Structure 1
């Protein structure tokens, strides 16, 4: 059965895009960018012919007007390998809690973040017409990324949702990983690699408990940063 989940695009840090996802087909080993699945540790090559299509498809915002996107990578350095928490049951969570609410969980998925947490760059000093080939740009993320509950519901309801996951709204999770990105950089231009966090996203339906029946209040997405995975995008500027 298809449900609607909150999915954030790199195109905007302030807008929420509702993307329908078939909860029965969310697979381990994929991250959703703008609602489109990308397999982990796979490199998406971008060229002049497909650049506009790729940028639109994945909802990407350019770092500068003339920047040219070269690759997209979803890097999973999680030592656990396959993420076991994708096997969670979609049961109703503790209907006897003291908040007066209850919720049901959807199937967890992974989505790209919207806040830059790492950047590396290299300027090619060779003259125009030449290039610096196979330059390896190191991107190291070592940031605290906030746990978030995205919803139009009240702060009290958001606190309840976070608590049901054993989290708090003010909590942060450490994201720590390193990536080496090879690039061919034209002379007198700069190669830039930008890293973004990946979130485990669980869509929930929230209810107000009643004596005879429960009242549906709305949906909320619980976002928990993945500790050793990032999305990287590399660009040519200048």
Structure 2
């Protein structure tokens, strides 16, 4: 089985990255997936789908994703807007409390997609029953689970992200620890960089952005983007219950 991961698309962003725009990058990524990874079973979008959460931005996103042959499953990030997302994608699964969350089986795994959106904040949160939802899904699952969320469930070590962190990391860690090996891995976006960690002993992977990357400076409190690092998406290869995670660079031609 193969999974494509697209993260931090930022449709509508006015950020000046020479030679690229978010729409150019998304369309180029779709072309690359169609050329190299059209056999993927699922595509998961890890949030920051848009830059301001505007209806028009979601319309552009929807149209650009249309050529992909595999099911696309989306979660939202801090740059999104939950109600606008629901208007643009009325068939997207939401839980009983209205959060953009879903669970589905794929091969040997169960996939759990979490909504960490915190209106008005750059960081994320899992209040309003979202952690309970995760705990309930993990308890009920008879398969190992892959957990997907926008905000990293770990400390990236980059000071600029501390103010933009997931507020519930300790509580989330406790839930992961309680279920142990039932959590096979976690995947996140938000940081615009490739980063690997463990959360309560379970592997976690942060994915790069489809638009621009952040420099990995462990001393400077200011986040600085790179003008030259290429856009990228993730590919997860699954053999039974074994995972191999790739970061795939692509160009805009």
Q: TM-score normalised by the shorter chain: which range applies?
A: under 0.3
Instruction: Name the larger-Rg structure.
Output: 1
Per chain length, whose mean CA-contact separation is higher, i.e. which structure has more relative contact order (CA < 8 Å, sep 6+)?
1
Of Structure 1 and Structure 2, the greater helix share is in: 2
Of Structure 1 and Structure 2, the greater strand share is in: 1
